[in-house]
């Protein structure tokens, strides 16, 4: 952020605005292939304005862009639910090996045995870590894993001629993708309320679970960063009603090596590899959301599934597969990174990552609970949900606090989620941050809280040190300028 702050107007120009006619970045050698005829005139554009710039100008421009980007490699990034943990560079080194990076997704399995073996081993590792042994690595995001898992639930009920099961029960604290995926999978969404302590209202669930229940979708730990103490009772209630239980595994990083979802009674789950297993997920992708199921449901998994026969590995289609949910085999480069992380950490390393994530979140929670309200005043798991409701009474919103943090070089926490918490600020420090960083964050949060009393306007108008201040976020999302406007 420092560089962007100090960048002058000349440095900040877009590439097109740096263009000077006749300037070039490279000198091309004479063509050594025959010249081709141009397509007919009507198919060509009238003009194609391209920047004419020197090589140094190109390097400066893209280096500047890279520094404008807020990233975990440069700043603390406590974005709750998103698990922005450090991604070890070893992951990238392995994914860049030519044997992995250079293969084509259409190559037959017998030419890429190492890659298929890696997929098979990753399936085994994920099956073991979740206690749900049937695994397909195909889904390209958590949300696509949800969609695949819900189609599996539908296929299971259809295979039993139980066509009345069309309802997905989903807690009111759920991530928006849960009801969206359920609706896309053709299920009717029925909301299960949370109790005042943040847990699922078990009595309400008992009343709602019936012969129409296809599936109950639950995030564990919940989106409030809490473990569900009644989880065994919950899964039992749904099973007794004939439904399946789906775990949104976005928060699986808090459970690794501590508890297995299968042991808790879940039938299906997905894992966001780009969160739990330290693979990149900036800018909306590439993600990976493998789906894990019980042995009984494995025949419905999306294809392909890597299978082993002696020493050879193939990609195959499970017996009653829900089919393909995308073009190829999932985000292969991400699978290599997640595999590398799991193997490098080992079972004990993964467990200590989960434990440290929980300790870090509880440290922040205990240090900030005097200044900020808590969504639930009890031990949290890997993230804590603060509420800026007290600060709101002094005229400053959670959004303002999030923006003011940017001035201190700290990425904003997740805001206004879960929706059931007033002025939610969801903080997930992750296990990879040092105590010094956590203390700095705590100090800055307290400082902002003081500032809200002494100088609220500075907080209300933050950020003050970034290249852009407050954007029209709706316009930025709905009418983005993706091309140079001239
Ligand atoms: C609890 C929860 N569920 C589901 C998702 C969706 O995952 P993805 O963004 O990989 O589609 C997220 C993403 O943030 C999440 O936090």
Do residue 310 and residue 228 come from a single domain?
A: yes
Do residue 157 and residue 207 come from a single domain?
A: yes
pLDDT for the residue numbered 2? 38
- What is the residue range of 307's domain? 90-345
- d(CA 51, CA 329) in angstroms, rounded, equals 37
* Predicted model pTM: 0.91
Residue 486 in any domain: the answer is no
Ligand 1 pocket mutation, candidates 177, 282, 381, criterion most atoms within 8 A of CB: 177
> Cα separations (Å) of 359 from 47, 365, 453?
59, 10, 31
Do residue 269 and residue 170 come from a single domain?
A: yes
Do residue 369 and residue 326 come from a single domain?
A: no
Residue 389 in any domain: the answer is yes
Ligand 1 atom nearest the C-alpha of 81 is 16
The protein residue whose alpha carbon is closest to atom 16 in ligand 1 is: 81
Do residue 321 and residue 380 come from a single domain?
A: no
Do residue 359 and residue 340 come from a single domain?
A: no
Domain of 236: which CATH number?
A: 3.40.640.10
Question: Do the beta carbons of residue 86 and residue 75 sit within 8 Å?
Answer: no
Ligand 1 pocket member 289 (CB < 6 A):
yes
42's tokens = 């009507």
Q: Which residues contact 137 (CB under 8 A, 6 or more apart)?
A: 119, 122, 123, 288, 290, 306, 329, 330, 335
Ligand 1 atom nearest the C-alpha of 146 is 4
Do residue 341 and residue 219 come from a single domain?
A: yes
Residue 11 in any domain: the answer is yes
- In the chain, how many domains are there? 3
Ligand 1 atom nearest the C-alpha of 145 is 11
Domain of 390: which CATH number?
A: 3.90.1150.10
Going from the Cα of 142 to the center of ligand 1, the distance in angstroms, rounded, reads 5
Residue 101 in any domain: the answer is yes
pLDDT for the residue numbered 8? 67
Ligand 1 pocket member 403 (CB < 6 A):
no
Ligand 1 pocket member 219 (CB < 6 A):
yes
Going from the Cα of 33 to the center of ligand 1, the distance in angstroms, rounded, reads 49
Nearest to 394 by CA among 460, 464, 315: 460
Q: Which spans in 369-464 are helix H?
A: 389-393, 398-407, 435-454, 456-460
Do residue 41 and residue 109 come from a single domain?
A: no
- Walk along the chain (486 residues) and give the pLDDT tens digit of each residue: 334 445 566 777 889 999 999 999 999 899 999 999 988 989 998 888 899 999 999 999 999 888 887 888 889 999 999 999 999 999 999 999 999 999 999 999 999 999 999 999 999 999 999 999 999 999 999 999 999 999 999 999 999 999 999 999 999 999 999 999 999 999 999 999 999 999 999 999 999 999 999 999 999 999 999 999 999 999 999 999 999 999 999 999 999 999 999 999 999 999 999 999 999 876 556 789 999 999 999 999 999 999 999 999 999 999 999 999 988 889 999 999 999 999 999 999 999 999 999 999 999 999 999 999 999 999 999 999 999 999 999 999 999 999 999 999 999 999 999 999 999 999 999 999 999 999 999 999 999 999 999 999 999 999 999 888 898 989 988 998 888 877
29's tokens = 């050698």
Q: Which residues contact 71 (CB under 8 A, 6 or more apart)?
A: 77, 282
Going from the Cα of 152 to the center of ligand 1, the distance in angstroms, rounded, reads 19
Residue 76 in any domain: the answer is no
Q: Which spans in 160-222 are helix H?
A: 177-184, 202-208
Ligand 1 pocket member 141 (CB < 6 A):
yes
pLDDT for the residue numbered 10? 72
The protein residue whose alpha carbon is closest to atom 5 in ligand 1 is: 142
3-state secondary structure (DSSP) of residue 268:
strand
- d(CA 75, CA 405) in angstroms, rounded, equals 11
Ligand 1 pocket member 81 (CB < 6 A):
yes
Ligand 1 atom nearest the C-alpha of 251 is 1
Do residue 190 and residue 51 come from a single domain?
A: no
Ligand 1 atom nearest the C-alpha of 143 is 11
pLDDT for the residue numbered 300? 98
Do residue 58 and residue 206 come from a single domain?
A: no
Residue 81 in any domain: the answer is no
The protein residue whose alpha carbon is closest to atom 14 in ligand 1 is: 82
Do residue 366 and residue 313 come from a single domain?
A: no
448's tokens = 């902002």
Residue 460 in any domain: the answer is yes
Residue 80 in any domain: the answer is no
Do residue 330 and residue 405 come from a single domain?
A: no
């Amino acid at each position: 952020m420092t560089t962007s702050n100090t960048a002058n107007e000349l440095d900040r120009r877009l590439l097109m605005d740096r263009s000077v006619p006749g300037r070039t970045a490279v000198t091309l050698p004479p063509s050594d292939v025959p010249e081709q005829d141009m397509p007919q005139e009507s198919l060509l554009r009238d003009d194609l304005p391209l920047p004419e710039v020197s090589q140094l100008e190109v390097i400066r421009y893209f280096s500047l862009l890279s520094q404008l980007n807020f990233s975990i490699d440069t700043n603390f990034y406590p974005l709750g639910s998103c698990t922005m943990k450090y991604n070890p560079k070893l992951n990238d080194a392995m994914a860049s090996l030519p044997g992995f990076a250079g293969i084509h997704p259409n190559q037959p399995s017998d030419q890429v045995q190492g890659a298929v073996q890696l997929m098979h081993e990753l399936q085994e590792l994920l099956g073991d870590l979740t206690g749900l042994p049937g695994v397909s690595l195909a889904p390209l995001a958590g949300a696509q894993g949800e969609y695949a898992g819900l189609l599996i639930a539908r296929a299971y009920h259809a295979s039993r001629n139980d066509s009345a099961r069309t309802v997905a029960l989903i807690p009111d604290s759920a991530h928006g993708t849960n009801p969206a995926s359920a609706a896309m999978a053709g299920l009717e969404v029925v909301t299960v309320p949370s109790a005042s302590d943040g847990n699922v209202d078990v009595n309400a669930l008992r009343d709602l679970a019936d012969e129409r229940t296809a599936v109950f979708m639950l995030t564990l730990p919940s989106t409030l960063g809490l473990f569900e103490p009644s989880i065994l009772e919950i899964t039992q209630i749904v099973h007794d009603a004939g439904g399946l239980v789906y775990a949104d595994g976005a928060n699986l990083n808090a459970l690794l090596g501590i508890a297995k979802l299968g042991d808790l009674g879940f039938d299906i789950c997905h894992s966001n590899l780009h969160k739990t297993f330290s693979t990149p997920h900036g800018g909306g992708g590439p993600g990976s959301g493998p789906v894990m199921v019980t042995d009984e449901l494995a025949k419905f998994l999306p294809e392909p599934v890597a299978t082993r026969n002696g020493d050879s590995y193939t990609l195959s289609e499970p017996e009653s597969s829900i089919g393909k949910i995308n073009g190829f085999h999932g985000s292969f480069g991400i699978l290599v990174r997640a595999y590398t992380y799991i193997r490098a950490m080992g079972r004990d390393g993964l467990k200590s990552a989960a434990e440290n994530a929980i300790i870090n979140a509880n440290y922040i929670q205990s240090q900030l609970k005097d200044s900020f309200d808590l969504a639930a005043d009890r031990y949290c798991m890997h993230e804590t949900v603060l509420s800026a409701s007290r600060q709101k009474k002094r005229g400053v919103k959670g959004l303002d606090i999030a923006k003011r943090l940017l001035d201190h070089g700290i990425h904003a926490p997740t805001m206004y989620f879960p929706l059931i918490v007033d002025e939610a600020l969801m903080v997930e420090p992750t296990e990879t941050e040092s105590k010094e960083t956590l203390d700095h964050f705590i100090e800055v949060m307290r400082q902002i809280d003081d500032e809200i009393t002494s100088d609220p306007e500075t907080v209300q108008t933050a950020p003050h040190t970034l290249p852009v201040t407050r954007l029209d976020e709706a316009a930025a999302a709905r009418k983005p300028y993706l091309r140079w406007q001239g």
